[in-house]
Amino acid sequence: PESKTYGYVLDTPKHGWSGYDFLGRMKAWRDIPYFWTTDVNGAGWAEFETGAAKDAQNMVYLTVGTGVGAGIVSGGKLVSGYGHPEAGHIFLQKHPEDHYEGHCPFHGDNCLEGLAAGPAIEARWHKSAKEIPDGDKAWEIEAFYLAQAALDYTMILRPEKIVFGGGVPHRETLFPLIRASFAEQMSDYLDVPDLEDYIVPVANGDNAGILGCFYLAKTLL
């Protein structure tokens, strides 16, 4: 809140939004209290309050759609510091069979968003995720990246739940693949909950974002 750019959208791959004074424009429209955070924090908070992580105090919510972002709750509070975490842009090892150059304009084929977001899937395979059938190699590669991300979050944050939302995880075939790849990459190093209960889909569906906004707004009252 003390930053000169508080309420601004900073550097982003989303065209036209970098440097935009979002909160300032909202205050000019209606001078009322605002809770300013990321969209993925809102969805993550909904899953923490009434969704897949409602019985946890430490969780990671990862949305995989047009981009990749994460809402992290630690000790019952959203994680933030100098700025909000950009867990969708962590650097990953590439799948040995993946030669795609990456979608992220900042990190190319080095980061999670550049390799695993919906536009990356479409650019790599020349068809949308909805058009790719179950059993296609595409899902094995996608699961490899999402499992690697889950592994990194596990190593650093030790959450009780990792919840996947967004358009891409609508494909249910992904979850067994993510869990299997996670187990292989973890290689029995850390003890984690049963993977069926640890790596899970969003419980509030596509309503998570708007529900989270209501829940966060209540904290202002």
Do the beta carbons of residue 168 and residue 142 sit within 8 Å?
yes
Question: Which two three-digit tokens encode residue 1?
Answer: 């809140």
**If you search the block for the tokens 């601004």, which residue do you land on?**
8
| Cα–Cα distance measured from residue 42 to residue 184, given in angstroms and rounded to the nearest whole number | 32
Q: What average pLDDT score do residues 85-103 get?
A: 96
Each domain of the chain, given as residue ranges in start order, spans 1-34, 38-218
What was the pLDDT predicted at 34? 86
What was the pLDDT predicted at 36? 85
| Cα–Cα distance measured from residue 85 to residue 148, given in angstroms and rounded to the nearest whole number | 18
Report whether pLDDT(171) > 80. Answer: yes
Q: Which CATH number fits domain 38-218: 3.30.420.40, 3.10.20.30, 3.30.70.1400, 3.40.50.300?
A: 3.30.420.40
The model's pTM is 0.91
Mean pLDDT, the chain, as a whole number? Answer: 94
Question: Which two three-digit tokens encode residue 5?
Answer: 């750019």
